[in-house]
């Protein structure tokens, strides 16, 4: 080849390389994880589209990697009637944050900021606003109850702050189309009822008469709707429906009298997670009513809410998903040891396992996001939380966190039906019911 031809060829090659390095698609790939191809969407754009998020309405830093110290906020009942059951979650969240910070495996440090919402939805809104606007948290973690999560979600969404592991059982809170920044964790009302009804059909093949007791709340409405749907066409006949106000601390005497008089031999009950769990149990016993099956909402699944009823609670059935803190398993031992180290003197109860697991969801999402094209940005961590499956150490074996938006919108679809044994003061396993992959659109809003 002549010198002129070699020079021309070299010049052409240099021009091609320069053009490639300076092309818009090359920049987009480096900045936002473009999957390749002319006109291809970036990883951020693809993730946002699948989750239903309009990135143009969010701050640019939603796609930027987080570093240094990242604040996470938790609206929680630190005072009020529900604090006895819910406040221990905060101590467990803090212990989990300290534990994972000391492990040194995360790309940044976590800092937990708690805000008292007294388990009231209007106060949850105020607490969420404070956490985001004043405390500058990057994530909300562990908001509790259907109405509270549903109340916090628009606020978080407005500021493009993900709610990771919202602790809610109702469909109205698990609404990815309306609340794309919210992932919901914990046992849904629908799955709770599905396990109840499945067990009752097995135990009463010839049928049963059912009395239903629910709190006059958003969650209570979810339970009623699920019971109506799942008993339809079965031999389970609902013969009585009574309600109680969420803040009512009096014994439900009138309700129990009505239910007993209906001739029901099965009681399905969803009181609020306060003194109502034990109060209902004691009132049923005081009136001498002995249903063949007495099933309580999973919201009453901590021993602190059942044990005050004493012997009257013997045989009461509850769907569990949180592991027993007295368990000898290595996973539970790890959590209890961490509690003793980082939160000495704080009670270790069922709520402890729940609070730890809420942080665990966020930690697993961070770890998964770190290996993705989106990285450890807010969007990357939200996307990971929406597309992952794992077994938390605080959750019973066989009950997993598993989400794969948009096909699977329900993170927890299994439960361990158990009965309370008054003699030992503990729960005894009956059966694990697993409905994984079956409840999207039933326990969530499609």
Look up tokens 């106000």; give the residue.
245
Domain regions of the chain by residue span: 63-187+324-412, 190-320
- Per-residue model confidence (pLDDT) at position 367: 98
Enter the CATH code of domain 63-187+324-412.
3.40.50.2300
> 406 preceded by cis ω (within 30°)?
yes
Look up tokens 């101590």; give the residue.
91
- Are 63-187+324-412 and 190-320 equal in CATH topology? yes
- Per-residue model confidence (pLDDT) at position 398: 83
Question: In the chain, which stretches have pLDDT less than 50?
Answer: 1-39
- Per-residue model confidence (pLDDT) at position 379: 98
How far, CA to CA in Å, does 266 sit from each of 25, 197, 247, 272, 285? 64, 11, 25, 19, 14
Buried b (16+ CB within 10 A) or exposed e, 409-431: bbbbbbbbbbbbebeeeebeebe
- Per-residue model confidence (pLDDT) at position 232: 97
Ramachandran sector of residue 67 (left: φ over 0; alpha: ψ -120 to 50; beta: rest): beta
Beta bridge partners of 139: 72
Residues with Cβ within 8 Å of 176's Cβ and at least 6 positions away in sequence, in order, are 51, 52, 182, 405, 406, 409, 444, 445
237: helix, coil or strand? strand
Mean pLDDT of the residues in the chain: 90
**Whole-model pTM?**
0.85
Closest-CA residue to 215 (of 263, 249, 186): 249
- Per-residue model confidence (pLDDT) at position 133: 98
Query: CATH homologous superfamily for 190-320?
Result: Response regulator (3.40.50.2300)
Q: What are the pLDDT digits (tens) for 283-339?
A: 999 999 999 999 999 989 888 789 999 999 999 999 999 988 888 899 999 999 999
Closest-CA residue to 140 (of 149, 57, 367, 186): 149
Q: What are the pLDDT digits (tens) for 212-251?
A: 999 998 889 999 999 999 999 999 999 999 999 988 999 9
- Per-residue model confidence (pLDDT) at position 40: 62
């Amino acid at each position: 080849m002549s010198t002129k031809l070699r020079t021309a060829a070299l010049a052409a090659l240099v021009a091609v390389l320069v053009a490639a390095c300076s092309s818009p698609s090359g920049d987009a790939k480096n900045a936002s994880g473009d999957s390749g191809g002319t006109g291809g969407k970036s990883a951020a754009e693809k993730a946002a589209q699948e989750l239903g998020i309009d990135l143009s309405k969010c701050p640019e830093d939603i796609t930027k990697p987080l570093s240094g110290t990242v604040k996470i906020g938790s609206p929680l009942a630190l005072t009020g009637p529900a604090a006895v059951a819910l406040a221990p979650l905060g101590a467990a969240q803090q212990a989990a944050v300290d534990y994972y910070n000391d492990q040194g495996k995360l790309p940044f440090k976590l800092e937990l900021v708690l805000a008292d919402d007294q388990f009231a939805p209007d106060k949850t809104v105020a607490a969420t606003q404070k956490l985001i606007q004043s405390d500058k948290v990057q994530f909300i973690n562990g908001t509790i109850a259907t109405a509270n999560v549903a109340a916090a979600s628009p606020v978080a969404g407005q500021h493009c702050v993900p709610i990771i592991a919202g602790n809610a059982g109702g469909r109205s809170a698990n609404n990815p189309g309306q609340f794309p920044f919210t992932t919901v964790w914990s046992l849904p009302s629908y799955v709770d009822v599905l396990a109840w009804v499945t067990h009752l059909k097995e135990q009463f093949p010839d049928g049963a008469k059912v009395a239903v007791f629910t709190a006059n709340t958003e969650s209570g409405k979810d339970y009623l709707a699920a019971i109506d749907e799942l008993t339809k066409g079965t031999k389970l006949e609902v013969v009585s429906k009574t309600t109680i106000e969420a803040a009512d601390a009096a014994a439900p005497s009138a309700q129990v009298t009505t239910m007993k008089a209906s001739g029901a031999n099965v009681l399905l009950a969803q009181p609020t997670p306060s003194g109502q769990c034990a109060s209902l149990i004691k009132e049923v016993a005081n009136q001498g009513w002995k249903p063949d099956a007495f099933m309580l909402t999973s919201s009453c699944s901590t021993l602190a809410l059942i044990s005050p009823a004493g012997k009257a609670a013997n045989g009461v059935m509850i769907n569990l998903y949180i592991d027993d803190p007295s368990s000898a398993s290595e996973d539970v031992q790890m959590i209890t040891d961490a509690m003793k180290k980082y939160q000495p003197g704080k009670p270790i109860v069922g709520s402890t396992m729940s609070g730890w697991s809420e942080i665990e969801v966020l930690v697993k999402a961070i770890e998964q996001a770190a290996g993705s094209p989106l990285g450890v940005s807010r969007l990357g961590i939200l996307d990971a939380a929406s597309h992952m499956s794992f077994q938390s150490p605080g959750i019973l074996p066989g009950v997993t966190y598993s989400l794969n938006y948009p096909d699977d919108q329900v993170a927890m679809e299994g439960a361990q039906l158990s009965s309370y044994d008054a003699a030992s003061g503990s729960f005894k396993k009956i059966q694990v019911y697993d409905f994984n992959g079956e409840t999207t659109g039933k326990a969530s809003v499609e």
